[in-house]
């Protein structure tokens, strides 16, 4: 089972797509608009065209795990969103582990149970949509990993000496088919850091969950999320981590926004900025700082940029 689940990037993309549909993440686009920007900029550099659609809604996965009021709703939402992508004739690329996981799961359910697909299609037909099940659901990090060597060749701001560590996010590694690695001992983020010239750090609690899933960041912040994150950051600090990346805006929110609360509660400063891996790639590829949107971060990137000798206004070389 494991073997079919983990797929080599070359097998995942025999050919790199020229054009992709970027699925907007609610949390990602509102909390850290820099992520979406960075993806667009990096894609531009790599020659991949990005298509988006203002009628795409929330993936509704949040609702499903919260308590699944009615699965029919989530099925209809998924069918509607994916039918929008299918109108463009493209594959769907997420930058949120949650969006990817839920869309995949619901698409899988509709694929396996035509009666559910029919039910969803009946609902969305009144709005003029029809979902076929043709669009493939992927995460943008998969393309970045596939193009790791190309990215390495285009680095204009090498991240030499920067100690970067990953927070993979549970919901990507938990996907049951066609992923880059499972939750055993993934290394594909660390390989990307190396391609950017940075030093990957494997800290002890590397795979510990961010705790924010299913709304726990709202409902169990003190009892659950903070003790959790404290343990995680403590091990990262001990390992000398300077910067952390995510591939899920929910995780990013938890890891970044909660740090001041941790400091207040545990009287310990961590000061580890947390950004999306696409922002890190954008930084190394020379995307102008104002486009990367680091201002949205609670834990500032200033120290990192200073260390790398990158100042404001110091954009790329072209």
Partner 1 sequence: MTTNLDKKALVVGAGLAGMEAAIKIGQAGYEVYLVEKENTMGGVTGQLFSSFPRWENPRELVDNRIQTINQIEKIRVLTTTTVQSARREGEAFVVDLQKADGQVEQVAADAVVLATGFELMDVSVYGEYGYGIYPNVVNSLEFEDKLREWSAAGSKADRPKSIAFFKCVGSRDRSKGNPYCSKICCMYTAKQAGLTKDLLPEAKAYVFYMDYRAAGKEYEEFVRSVIETKHVRYVRGRPSKVLPENGRLVVRAEDTLMGVPIEVEVDMVVLASAIVPREGTRVLAGMFGALTDQYGFIENVPFELRQTGNGVFFAGACGFAVETAGAQAQGAAAAADVVALFNRVPQGVK
Partner 2 sequence: MAMVDYYRPLRLNQIDSSLQEEIKRTCGVDVELCLECGKCTGGCSNAHIFDLTPRKIVQLVKLGDEKRLLNMDSLWTCVSCQLCVDRCPSHIDIPRIMDYMREKARKKNVRAQRESIEIFHELMLDSIRKTGRVAEAPLALKHNLRTRQYFKDAELGGRMFFKGKLNPLSPKVKNVKQVKDLFAQTIDKKEG
> Which residues contribute to the site for partner 1 (CB under 8 A)?
1-2, 181-186, 202, 204-205
| Residue 267 dihedral angles phi and psi, to the nearest 5° | 50, 45
Considering only the C-alpha atoms of the chain, give the largest distance between any 2 of them, rounded to a whole number of Å: 58
Minimum distance from CB of 80 to partner 2 (Å)?
Answer: 7
Minimum distance from CB of 183 to partner 1 (Å)?
Answer: 7
Among partner 2, partner 1, none, residue 123 binds (CB under 5-8 Å by kind): partner 2
Which strands form 92-94's sheet, in the order they lie side by side?
A: 49-51, 19-23, 92-94, 137-139
Closest to partner 1 by CB, 105 or 181: 181
| 315 binds partner 2, rule: CB under 8 A | no
Q: How many Å apart are CA 55 and CA 24, to the nearest integer? A: 10
H-helix or E-strand spanning residue 34: helix 33-45
Among partner 2, partner 1, none, residue 177 binds (CB under 5-8 Å by kind): none
Q: How many Å apart are CA 105 and CA 103, to the nearest integer? A: 5
- Tell me how far the alpha carbon of residue 5 is from its chain's centroid: 19
Tell me 218's DSSP state: H
Candidate residues 3, 8, 14, 67; the one interacting with partner 2 per rule CB under 8 A: 67
Torsion of CA 74, 75, 78, 80, to 10 degrees: -110
Site string for partner 2, 202-231 (x = CB under 8 A): ------xx-xxxxxx-xxx--xx--xx---
Minimum distance from CB of 117 to partner 2 (Å)?
Answer: 15
Given a contact cutoff of 8 angstroms between Cβ atoms, the answer to whether 254 and 210 are in contact is: yes
Among partner 1, partner 2, none, residue 205 binds (CB under 5-8 Å by kind): partner 1
| 73 binds partner 2, rule: CB under 8 A | yes
Closest to partner 2 by CB, 245 or 297: 297
Candidate residues 44, 47, 51, 72; the one interacting with partner 2 per rule CB under 8 A: 72
| 51 binds partner 2, rule: CB under 8 A | no
Among partner 1, partner 2, none, residue 186 binds (CB under 5-8 Å by kind): partner 1
Q: Which two tokens stand for residue 115?
A: 């009666």
285 Cβ contact partners less than 8 Å away, ≥ 6 residues apart: 41, 42, 45, 151, 154, 155, 156, 157, 316
Handedness of CA 107, 111, 113, 117 (dihedral sign): positive
Instruction: Using CB under 8 A, list all residues that contact partner 2.
Output: 1, 26-27, 29-31, 54-58, 60, 62-73, 76-77, 80, 123-124, 126-127, 170-171, 173-174, 182-183, 208-209, 211-216, 218-220, 223-224, 227-228, 253, 257, 260-261, 295-296, 298
């Amino acid at each position: 089972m494991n073997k079919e689940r983990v797929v080599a990037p070359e097998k995942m993309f025999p050919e790199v797509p020229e054009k992709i549909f970027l699925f907007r993440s609610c949390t990602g686009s509102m909390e850290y608009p820099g992520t979406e920007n960075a993806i667009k900029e990096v894609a531009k550099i790599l020659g991949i065209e990005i298509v988006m659609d203002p009628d795409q809604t929330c993936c509704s996965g949040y609702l499903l795990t919260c308590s699944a009021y009615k699965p029919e709703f989530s099925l209809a939402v998924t069918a509607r969103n994916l039918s929008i992508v299918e109108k463009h004739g493209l594959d769907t690329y997420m930058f949120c582990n949650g969006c990817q996981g839920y869309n995949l799961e619901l698409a899988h359910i509709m694929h396996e149970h035509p009666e559910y697909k029919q039910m969803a299609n009946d609902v969305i037909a009144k709005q003029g949509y029809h979902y076929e099940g043709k669009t493939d659901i992927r995460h943008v990090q998969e393309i970045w990993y596939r193009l790791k060597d190309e990215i390495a060749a285009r680095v204009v701001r090498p991240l030499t000496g920067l100690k970067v560590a990953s927070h993979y996010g549970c919901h990507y590694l938990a996907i049951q088919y066609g992923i880059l690695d499972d939750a055993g001992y993934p290394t594909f983020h660390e390989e990307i850091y190396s391609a950017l010239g940075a030093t990957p750090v494997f800290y002890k609690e590397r795979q510990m969950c961010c705790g924010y899933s299913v709304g726990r960041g709202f409902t169990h912040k003190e009892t659950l999320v903070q003790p959790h994150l404290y343990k995680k950051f403590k091990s990262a600090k001990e390992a000398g981590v300077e910067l952390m990346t995510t591939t899920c805006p929910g995780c990013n929110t938890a890891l970044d926004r909660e740090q001041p609360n941790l400091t207040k509660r545990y009287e310990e400063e961590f000061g580890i900025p947390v950004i999306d891996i696409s922002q890190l790639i954008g930084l190394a590829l020379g995307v102008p700082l104002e486009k990367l949107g680091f201002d949205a971060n609670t834990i500032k990137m200033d120290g990192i940029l200073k260390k790398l000798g990158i100042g404001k206004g110091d954009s790329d070389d072209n």
